């Protein structure tokens, strides 16, 4: 899908938020979300994701800055006039109403007449495959079913923007993966804009058009999933998303894209300069485990190689995980697929590992 | 390992499933015994201090012992009397002999008191007859003539009908009196003369004033409980302690404080007069009347309304209201459609609790109620302490207890569903 991010549908413009007047929970947030985009806010607990969502919904006010919806500032629009659909982590289905009454609520509020209400409710329930459940009470539904109803209720009044705060947090893994697929499917077919909050990186990677990684009240990186995973901008993102090997060192020289790094054990290696600017700077080199090769014949041309000692071999079914001691770090992980004839490394074995210097990213040392 | 396998396949369990059940039952029985032993002191206390007096009260409200105990011969002699015309000589003789004994044993007063409760004026007849018949040394030729000579009332039917009625072991007289009814001299049930009708009026007043107090505590308590329930937990706990603070102050002290505030030369009146809102001559009467009772009881009972309301509201997460508002409902509408219906159980519990406590209230109406603010309990106390009509007091008390019990069962049904707890 083509998304025009310049023509922002939702825009946070230099937004700040403090609850206690002392510490900023959200610091200088700038974010443009395009019409029809699926944007995920991903970050550790307490990083301010829910706060951002609540400011957008109108339940919290921004201490500083503007929030615009479709070009109009909405700071002074009360939440019930914003027309934004919401899905909550605990579903917030009204326990004293049936499923049908729950879905009817936003329509009654809008004074939509009965026949149209019924057809909209039916369409929304069919959309989440819950057509037969209109007369049940929420307490008579399983967690996954309640989740679907909550989704249908947020969509039944045709909002253009839907906010979801960890909507799948309470479901088990299998159901969660299934619902991820369904939500994504609904997003594609309805063309709505979704702002989704999660702290599950797998969820964020599979569902989103773009991901905003939050930490400490700031967006650390805003990028499509592949970019985020393969080209993290800083060491927080590199470590927060996916598995990551880190090597500590000092910048020896920088030549355009490439940097020479002296590792803590004295060895000098080549890496991609991402977040380093000057000689002598401390740096953290990040390398994805699956980009490290230990069979010489398979290493890319011009590979950077290092000696390593095998510490532990972990059998995980489809993959093998091997823990190595590399350049003083004994937390270095490599992954290899359990293919026919794959060698199993023995602890104590000395090997040579190598990678394309493009895959080693020299980031800030935090 | 081997043993594990056999257990897992269920061999022994299947073979001895009945013994398994027996084991379970034995284990459960032991647990129950322990629980029973632990609560035994409390059970004993409740039995002695609560159940026994309660049973005693019910007994007092129906028991009719005075005539049976102190006029045994009369009761025996009247057993065969048809009650249509004046009784035969042997009944007169029995009365004469019984009252002679009663005079010597100093028990005639009790007979007189009991009979007088049902027929005012009889006391004098009994007292006089006891005294005079005890002076009769040789048995007279005709006790009938003798008694009628002492008091002509012995020659008329009403006193005999009364004695006949009072010779049975149980009586409904007290309950009739408790609802302003009586048995007429001719044996019919009728309402007492209008100037004597007080209890129905008192029951109604107790009920409606309790309802008023309940409504006021609800009107004051609901917003308060809502406000506290939306606070962060630490502040909410502090506020709840403030709500419960009155519990640590003696009721008497609080009532005294109210008297200081509300009396005609009190703080409130002085402020009203001082600010020129009312003139010196028109100081409103705020206490020693129904108004005073309502004001003070509302304050005293407010925590009992706030507690169940708060407990229910606390369990309603913010997200319900937020969800409703995000769907386009004005906050007021969201409140009425979503929040309020979820608090119905708490409202029911609070209303019943306050109402139950109100209808049994005694001390507050006694101290600040004056004449127009008296509750049924005050009348019960009067009958116990002043008029010494314990049977009537017991009947009133039993009626009050039964009403309370019914309301309490209702309360149990609401809270029993696990929605409301007072913890
Ligand atoms: N109502 C509030 N009053 C005061 N502080 C708050 C309030 N809500 C959140 N905070 C604080 O703001 C910070 C950010 O909270 P927020 O709920 O936005 O985090 P989050 O990213 O959604 O975390 P999580 O993943 O745990 O949901 C936290 O430090 C939290 O303690
Ligand atoms: Mg959150």
The tens digit of pLDDT for each residue in B19-48 reads 888 888 998 999 899 988 999 999 999 899
Q: What is the mean pLDDT of residues B281-305?
A: 92
Q: How many CA atoms lie within 13 A of B405 on its CB side?
A: 7
Is residue B189 within a helix (H) or strand (E), and if so which, with residue range? strand B189-191
Please give the Cα distance from B119 to B130 (Å, whole number).
18
Q: Report the candidate in A1, A7, A197 with the shortest Cα–Cα distance to residue A88.
A: A197
Distance from CA of A250 to the nearest CA of B (A): 48
A112 touches chain B (CB under 8 A): no
Instruction: Indicate if A358 and A320 belong to the same structural domain.
Output: yes
Q: Are residues A24 and A81 in the same domain?
A: yes
Element (H, E) at A13: strand A8-18
Coil/strand/helix, residue B245: helix
pLDDT band at B139 (very low <50, low <70, confident <90, very high): confident
Rounded distance from Cα B228 to ligand 2 centre (Å): 23
User: Does residue A1 lie within any of the structural domains?
Assistant: no
- Tens digits of per-residue pLDDT, B216-271? 999 999 999 999 999 999 999 999 999 998 888 899 999 999 999 999 889 999 99
How many angstroms does the Cα of residue A231 sit away from the middle of ligand 2? 26
ipTM: 0.84
The whole-angstrom distance between residue A320's C-alpha and the CA centroid of its chain comes to 26
Hey, whose CA ends up nearest to atom 30 of ligand 1? A46
One domain for residues A93 and A63: yes
Q: Do B328 and A88 touch (CB under 8 A)?
A: no
Ligand 1 atom, smallest distance to A166 CA:
27
Do B81 and B87 touch, CB atoms closer than 8 A?
Answer: yes
What angle (nearest 5°) sits at the alpha carbon of residue B331, between those of residues B327 and B334?
60
Name which of A80, A120, A163 to mutate to probe chain B: the one with the most chain B Cβ atoms within 10 A of its Cβ. A80
Mapped onto helix, strand or coil, the DSSP state of residue A130 is coil
Q: How near does any CA of chain A get to the CA of B319, in Å? A: 6
pTM above 0.90?
no
Q: What gap in Å lies between CA B344 and CA B350, rounded to an integer?
A: 10
Q: Where are the beta strands (DSSP E) in B29-183?
A: 181-183
Q: Does A101 touch chain B (CB under 8 A)?
A: no
A224 lines ligand 1 (CB under 6 A): no
Interface contacts (A, B; CB < 8 Å): 58
Q: Is A169 on the interface with B (CB under 8 A)?
A: no
Q: Identify which of B250, B264, B262, B248 has the alpha carbon closest to the alpha carbon of residue B296.
A: B262
Nearest chain A Cα to B342, which residue?
A96
d(CA B150, CA B119): 19
Q: Mean pLDDT for chain A? A: 90
A325 and A359 in a single domain? The answer is: yes
Q: Are B123 and B113 in contact (CB under 8 A)?
A: yes
The predicted model gives B55-77 an average pLDDT of 92
Supply the range of the domain harboring residue A87: 10-235
- A115/A96 same-domain check: yes
Ligand 1 pocket member A148 (CB < 6 A): no
Q: How many domains does chain A have?
A: 2
Collapsing DSSP to helix, strand or coil, A25 comes out as strand
Q: Which of B320, B328, B341 sits opposite A92 (nearest CB)?
A: B320
Residue A340 Cβ inside 6 Å of ligand 1? The answer reads: no
What distance in Å separates the CA atoms of residue B68 and residue B76, rounded to the nearest whole number?
A: 9
- Residue B417 binned pLDDT confidence (cut-offs 50, 70, 90): low
DSSP string, A35-55: TT-EEEEE--TTSSHHHHHHH
Q: Which atom of ligand 1 is nearest to the CA of A214?
A: 21
Q: Report pLDDT digits (tens) over A306-319.
A: 999 999 999 999 89
A198 in any annotated domain: yes
How large is the angle between the packed helices B199-229 and B290-314, nearest 10 degrees?
Answer: 40
Instruction: Answer whether residue B416 shows pLDDT above 80.
Output: no
Contact A341, A350 (CB under 8 A): no
A228 and A264 both lie in a single domain: no
Supply B413's token pair.
């049904």
Do residue A192 and residue A307 come from a single domain?
no
Query: What CATH code is carried by the domain that includes residue A273?
Result: 2.40.50.140
| CA distance linking residue A69 with residue A341, whole number of Å | 57
Ligand whose nearest atom lies closest to the CA of A199: 1
d(CA A114, CA A105): 12
Question: pLDDT, tens digit, for every residue of B149-158?
Answer: 999 999 998 8
- Structural domain includes residue A5: no
Reply yes or no on whether the pLDDT at A255 is more than 90.
Answer: no
Helix (H, G, I), strand (E, B) or coil at A235: helix
Looking at A197, A212, A235, the residue that finishes a domain is A235
DSSP track, B311-377: HHHHTS-HHHHHHHHHTT--HHHHIIIIIHHHTHHHHHHHHHHHHHHHHT--HHHHHH-TTTT--HH
The overall average pLDDT reported for chain B is: 89
pLDDT of residue B101: 92
Residues of B in contact with A84 (CB under 8 A): 326
Q: Ligand 1: does its nearest atom lie under 6 Å from the Cβ of A215?
A: no
What pairing do the DSSP bridges indicate for beta strands A8-18 and A193-198? unpaired
Interface test with B, best of A54, A57, A86 (most B CBs within 10 A): A86
Contact of A270 with chain B, judged by CB distance below 8 Å, is answered with no
Q: Contact at 8 Å (CB) between A69 and A57?
A: no
Contact call for residues A103 and A153 (beta carbons, < 8 A): yes
Contact B414, B348 (CB under 8 A): yes
Q: For the residues B163-191, what does the mean pLDDT come to?
A: 89
**Rounded Cα–Cα distance for residues A216 and A24 (Å):** 9
Q: Ligand 1: does its nearest atom lie under 6 Å from the Cβ of A198?
A: no
**B292 vs B286: CA distance, rounded Å:** 5
Residue B4's pLDDT band (boundaries 50, 70, 90)?
Answer: very low
Closest CA relative to residue A122, chosen from A112, A113, A132: A132
A122 lines ligand 1 (CB under 6 A): no
* A106 contact B CB<8A: yes
Q: How far is CA A19 from the centre of its chain?
A: 25
Q: Are residues A71 and A180 both part of a single domain? A: yes
Q: Which residue from A21, A49, A217 has its CB within 8 A of the most atoms of ligand 1, so it is best to mutate? A: A49
Q: What is the pLDDT of residues A263-299, one digit of tens each?
A: 988 889 999 988 888 888 899 999 999 899 998 888 8
Q: Which residue of A has its CA nearest to B345?
A: A96
Of the candidates B222, B206, B202, B254, the residue with the CA atom closest to the CA atom of residue B358: B206
Is the residue at A157 inside a domain?
yes
Taking the CA atoms of residue B355, residue B357, residue B358 and residue B363 in that order, the dihedral angle to the nearest 10 degrees is 180
- Contact flag B323-A157 (C-beta cutoff 8 Å): no
A19 CA closest ligand 1 atom index: 4
**DSSP labels, B16-66:** THHHHHHHHHHHHHHHHHHHHHHHHHHHHHHIIIIIHHHHHHHHHHHB--H
Q: Domain check: are A211 and A337 in the same one?
A: no
Q: Between helices B157-166 and B108-118, what is the axis angle to 10°?
A: 110
pLDDT at B12 over 80: no
Average pLDDT over every residue of B157-167: 89
Task: Determine contact: A157 vs chain B, CB below 8 A.
Answer: yes
Give residue-wise pLDDT tens across range A77-102: 999 999 999 999 889 999 999 999 99
Is there a single domain that holds both residue A69 and residue A97? yes
Q: Which residue has the least CA distance to atom 18 on ligand 1?
A: A48
Minimum Cα–Cα distance from A57: chain B residue = B326
Contact criterion met (CB < 8 Å) for A80 and B325: yes
- Give the closest of B317, B326, B337 to A79, CB-based: B326
Ligand 1 pocket residue status of A17, Cβ below 6 Å: no
Compute the distance from residue B224 Cα to the ligand 2 centre, in Å. Answer: 29
A217 and A160 together in one domain: yes
For residue A85, the distance in angstroms to the closest alpha carbon of chain B comes to 6
Nearest CA in chain B to A87: B323
State the Cα–Cα distance between residues A325 and A348, nearest whole angstrom. 10
Final residue of a structural domain among A185, A217, A235? A235
A71 in contact with B at a CB cutoff of 8 Å? Answer: no
* Phi and psi, residue B207, nearest 5°: -65, -45
Residue burial B130-163, b: 16+ Cβ < 10 Å; e: rest: bebbbeeeeebeebbebbbebbebbeebebbbbb
Shortest CA distance from B316: residue in chain A: A92
Structural domain includes residue A3: no
The CATH number given to whatever domain includes residue A145 is 3.40.50.300
| pLDDT tens digits, one per residue of B196-211 | 899 999 999 999 999 9
B317 CA distance to ligand 1 middle (Å) = 16
Atom of ligand 1 minimally distant from the CA of A53: 18
Chain A residues touching B342 at Cβ < 8 A: 95-96
Residues A308 and A332 in one domain: yes
pLDDT higher than threshold 80 for residue B1: no
Residue A74: inside a domain: yes
Ligand 1 and A47: CB distance under 6 A: yes
Kindly state whether residue A215 falls inside one of the protein's structural domains: yes
The kind and range of the H/E element at B411 are helix B390-416
Is A90 inside a domain boundary? yes
Which of A213, A235, A257 is the last residue in one of the domains? Answer: A235
> Tokens 């909507």 appear where?
A167
Q: DSSP letter at B170?
A: B
Q: How many angstroms is it from A70 CA to the middle of ligand 2?
A: 25
């Amino acid at each position: 899908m083509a998304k025009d991010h310049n023509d922002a549908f939702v825009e946070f413009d230099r937004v700040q938020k403090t609850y206690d007047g002392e510490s900023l929970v959200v610091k200088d947030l700038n974010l443009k979300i395009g019409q029809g985009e699926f944007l995920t806010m991903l970050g550790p607990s307490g990083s301010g994701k829910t706060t951002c969502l609540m400011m957008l919904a109108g339940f919290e006010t921004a201490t500083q800055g503007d929030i615009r919806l479709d070009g109009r500032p909405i700071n002074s629009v009360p939440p019930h006039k914003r027309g934004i659909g919401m899905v909550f982590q605990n579903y917030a289905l009204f326990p004293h109403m049936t499923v049908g009454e729950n879905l009817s609520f936003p329509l009654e509020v809008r004074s939509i007449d009965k026949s149209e209400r019924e057809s909209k409710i039916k369409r929304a329930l069919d959309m989440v495959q819950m057509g037969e459940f209109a007369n049940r009470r929420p307490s008579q539904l399983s967690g996954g079913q309640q989740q679907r109803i909550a989704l249908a209720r947020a969509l039944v009044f045709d909002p253009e923007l839907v906010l979801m705060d960890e909507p799948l947090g309470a479901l088990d893994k299998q159901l969660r993966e299934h619902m991820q697929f369904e939500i994504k499917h609904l997003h594609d077919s309805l063309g709505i804009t979704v702002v989704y909050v999660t702290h599950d990186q797998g969820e964020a990677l599979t569902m989103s058009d773009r991901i905003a990684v939050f930490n400490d009240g700031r967006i650390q990186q805003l990028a499509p999933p592949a970019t985020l995973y393969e080209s993290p901008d800083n060491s927080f993102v590199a470590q927060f998303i996916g598995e990551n090997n880190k090597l500590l060192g000092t910048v020896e020289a920088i030549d355009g894209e490439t940097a020479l790094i002296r590792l803590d054990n004295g060895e000098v290696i080549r890496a991609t300069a991402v977040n380093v600017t000057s000689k002598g700077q401390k740096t953290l080199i990040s390398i994805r485990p699956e980009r490290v090769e230990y069979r010489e014949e398979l290493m890319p041309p011009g590979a950077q190689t290092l000696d390593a000692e095998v510490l532990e071999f972990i059998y995980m079914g489809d993959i093998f995980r091997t823990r190595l001691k590399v350049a003083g770090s004994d937390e270095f992980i490599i992954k290899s697929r359990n293919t026919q004839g794959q060698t199993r490394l023995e602890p104590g074995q000395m090997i040579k590992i190598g990678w394309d210097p493009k895959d080693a990213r020299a980031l800030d040392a935090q | 390992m081997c043993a594990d396998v056999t257990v897992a396949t269920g061999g022994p369990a299947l073979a001895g499933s009945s013994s398994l059940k027996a084991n379970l039952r034995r284990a459960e029985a032991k647990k129950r015994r322990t629980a029973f032993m632990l609560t035994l002191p409390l059970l004993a206390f409740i039995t002695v201090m609560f159940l026994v007096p309660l049973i005693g009260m019910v007994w007092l409200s129906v028991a009719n012992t005075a005539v049976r105990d102190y006029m045994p011969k009369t009761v025996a002699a009247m057993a065969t009397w048809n009650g249509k015309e004046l009784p035969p000589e042997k009944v007169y003789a029995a009365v004469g002999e019984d009252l002679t004994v009663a005079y010597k044993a100093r028990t005639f007063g009790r007979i007189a008191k009991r009979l007088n409760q049902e027929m005012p004026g009889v006391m004098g007849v009994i007292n006089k007859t006891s005294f005079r018949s005890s002076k009769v040394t040789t048995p007279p030729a005709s006790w009938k003539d003798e008694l009628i000579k002492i008091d002509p009332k012995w020659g008329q039917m009403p006193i005999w009908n009364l004695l006949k009625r009072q010779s049975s072991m149980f009586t409904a007289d007290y309950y009739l009196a408790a609802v302003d009814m009586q048995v007429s001299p001719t044996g019919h049930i009728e309402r007492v003369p209008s100037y004597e009708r007080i209890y129905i009026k008192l029951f109604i007043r107790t009920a409606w004033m309790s309802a008023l107090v309940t409504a006021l505590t609800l009107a004051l308590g609901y917003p308060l409980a809502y406000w506290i329930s939306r606070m962060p937990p630490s502040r909410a706990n502090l506020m709840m302690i403030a709500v419960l603070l009155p519990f640590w102050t003696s009721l008497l002290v609080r009532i005294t404080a109210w008297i200081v505030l509300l009396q005609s030369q009190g703080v409130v009146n002085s402020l009203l007069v001082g600010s020129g809102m009312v003139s010196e001559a028109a100081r409103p009467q705020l206490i020693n009347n129904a108004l005073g009772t309502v004001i003070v009881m509302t304050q005293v009972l407010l925590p009992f309304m706030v507690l169940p309301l708060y407990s229910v509201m606390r369990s309603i997460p913010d997200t319900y209201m937020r969800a409703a508002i995000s769907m386009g409902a004005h906050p007021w509408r969201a409140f009425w459609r979503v929040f309020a219906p979820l608090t119905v159980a708490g409202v029911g519990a609070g209303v019943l609790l306050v109402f139950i406590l109100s209808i049994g209230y005694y001390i507050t109406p006694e101290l600040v109620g004056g004449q127009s603010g008296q509750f049924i309990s005050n009348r019960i106390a009067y009958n116990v302490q002043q008029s010494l009509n314990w049977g009537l007091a017991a009947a009133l008390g039993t009626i009050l207890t039964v009403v309370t019990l019914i309301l309490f069962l209702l309360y149990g049904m609401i809270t029993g569903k696990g929605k409301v707890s007072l913890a």
